[in-house]
Amino acid sequence: MQRKSLIAGLAVLAVLLAACQTAAEPAAGEVEVFSWWTAGGEADGLAALIQVMDSENPDLQFVNSAVAGGAGTNARAVLATRLSADDPPDSWQGHAGQELIGTYVAAGEIQPLNDLYESNGWLDVMPETLIPLISQDGNIYSVPVNIHRANVLWYNPEVLASNSVAVPSTIADFIAAAETLQAAGVTPLAMGEQWTSMHLFETVLLGTVGAETYNGLWAGTADWAGPEVTQAIDNFSQILAYTNSDASTLSWDKAAQLVIDGDAAFTIMGDWAEGYFKAAGLSPMEGFGWAPAPGTAGLFQFLSDSFVLPVGAPHPEAATAFLTVAGSKSGQEAFNPIKGSICARTDCDPALFDEYLQSAMDDWASNTVVGSLTHGVVANDNWKSQIDTALGLYLSDGDAAAFQAALVTACSDAGTCG
């Protein structure tokens, strides 16, 4: 009799425990989240995500520790200082791919989230192709909140029309269009500080060498010393000649503003620029137009913002509550239409997204997908920073041969090229 009631009691306990695991209790206290979303569009997207978190966890206070500076240039330096002082926030923004696996996981700084994936059924709704980029040895290390496209050419439709310039699709077309615009006194291509030139370089590299060689360069199966890379650097240098002279002093959004104002015709930027254009009151195809960056039609150069659970997070339960919202359908449907990205989840309602974002969804599903360098997919921090140093030198001395030689060395130092 006693034994029966013990078994019954254990069964009830098991049911209760299972219920606790699936229906997460609203969390309380505070959760400090670290990102670099401070510009128009990206900050608004974050605010929308926070709103969903607030409504699901009314007693949880979101501490927004965003540090300004696109692509995380400043934020990631601040984060590194905090991590070396054993002072992690509760969660931080990290890119899927080598930034995550080859940097934070390699340094033992973040925790596996397999239980969270299990309890939320995320393996059924996150793209199968994304999971390997956030996993190592069967452990999944982050919660992707979106998919961004890096290789987008944004333009001011009025500026193109008034100069009788068609939207270019090849690099040669782009250079011809840029000549016409420059002769008319319009800056052809708006660019900003150094990371935006790395962003430009990766799209020109892809547009020059194509997807197979581009992937091979990051996998050690294509030749950084070869003629295709030489050609890419040459194309890059020609295109740089059509950028604004104050580029190094502008943030990515200030460069996008030149296009809004009609002072520049184009900018090549990830689709967070779409969030910026919309935050500035423009609508797709009226205030701004888009096309794949020159030479990259049919290719989707992607990146994904994701959030992590640090080792030693001060408020792990609150962090888990935030991550749960970041991975949820309601969280992603609130965040992405404003951010200028599409959901990482595959079950968001397309009707919530505008014309540009619906086109991005179609392309994400049908194009050849490759990863971004500047935004953490294809190279870890060490490799990327070596490329960044070489790029900085190239921007000041214009020595193409030295730049290419440094790219060769960076690949071999990374252990990828023999």
By C-alpha distance, which of 49, 88, 21, 20 is closest to 316? Answer: 88
User: Closer CB to ligand GAL, residue 71 or residue 334?
Assistant: 71
What is the residue-wise DSSP string for 77-133?
Answer: HHHHHHHHTT---SEEEEETTHHIIIIIITTT-B---HHHHHHHTGGGTS-TTTGGG
Residue 36 CB, shortest distance to ligand GAL, in Å, is: 5
- Label residue 156 left, alpha or beta by phi (over 0 means left) and psi (-120 to 50 means alpha): beta
By C-alpha distance, which of 30, 87, 113, 23 is closest to 318? Answer: 30
Residues 276 and 40 sit within 8 Å (Cβ to Cβ) = yes
Q: For the chain, how many residues are written?
A: 418
- Residues whose CB falls within 8 Å of the CB of residue 95, separated by 6 or more in sequence, listed in order: 303, 304, 305, 306, 372, 375, 376, 377
User: Could you say whether residue 371 binds ligand GAL (CB under 6 A)?
Assistant: no
Tell me how many residues contact ligand GAL (CB under 6 A): 13
By C-alpha distance, which of 192, 233, 162, 197 is closest to 69? Answer: 192
Residue 264 CB, shortest distance to ligand GAL, in Å, is: 18
Binding to ligand GAL, residues 300-359 (CB under 6 A) = 303, 305
User: Closer CB to ligand GAL, residue 228 or residue 274?
Assistant: 274
Residue 38 CB, shortest distance to ligand GAL, in Å, is: 8
Residue 338 CB, shortest distance to ligand GAL, in Å, is: 12
User: Closer CB to ligand GAL, residue 67 or residue 106?
Assistant: 67
Residue 143 CB, shortest distance to ligand GAL, in Å, is: 14
The site string for ligand GAL over 13-32 (x = CB under 6 A, - otherwise) reads --------------------
Query: Distance between CA 154 and CA 190 in Å, rounded?
Result: 10
Tokens of 59: 């007693």
Tokens of 316: 């792990």
User: Closer CB to ligand GAL, residue 141 or residue 224?
Assistant: 141
The site string for ligand GAL over 268-307 (x = CB under 6 A, - otherwise) reads --x-x------------------------------x-x--
Residues 73 and 252 sit within 8 Å (Cβ to Cβ) = no
Q: What is the strand order of the sheet 289-292 is part of?
A: 187-190, 264-268, 152-155, 289-292
- Residues whose CB falls within 8 Å of the CB of residue 321, separated by 6 or more in sequence, listed in order: 24, 26, 27, 31, 53, 56, 57, 60
Residue 303 CB, shortest distance to ligand GAL, in Å, is: 5
Query: Distance between CA 206 and CA 189 in Å, rounded?
Result: 18
User: Closer CB to ligand GAL, residue 46 or residue 159?
Assistant: 46
Residue 93 CB, shortest distance to ligand GAL, in Å, is: 7
- Of 69-77, 350-358, 384-392, 398-406: span binding ligand GAL (CB under 6 A): 69-77
Please state at what angle helix 381-397 crosses helix 400-413, rounded to 10 degrees.
Answer: 170
- Of 64-72, 101-109, 356-364, 389-397: span binding ligand GAL (CB under 6 A): 64-72
Q: Euclidean distance between the first and final Cα of the chain, in Å?
A: 71
Residues 39 and 222 sit within 8 Å (Cβ to Cβ) = no
User: Closer CB to ligand GAL, residue 73 or residue 296?
Assistant: 73
Q: State the alpha helices, DSSP H only, in 220-315.
A: 227-240, 252-260, 272-279
Binding to ligand GAL, residues 39-58 (CB under 6 A) = 42
Residue 72 CB, shortest distance to ligand GAL, in Å, is: 6
Residue of minimal Cβ distance to ligand GAL: 70
- Of 67-75, 160-168, 177-185, 220-228: span binding ligand GAL (CB under 6 A): 67-75
Among 76, 148, 278, 315, binds ligand GAL (CB under 6 A): 148
Among 34, 46, 49, 70, binds ligand GAL (CB under 6 A): 70
Among 34, 37, 224, 290, binds ligand GAL (CB under 6 A): 37
The three-state secondary structure class of 343 is: strand
Binding to ligand GAL, residues 194-253 (CB under 6 A) = 252
Residues in contact with ligand GAL by CB under 6 A are: 36-37, 42, 70-72, 148, 252, 270, 272, 303, 305, 375
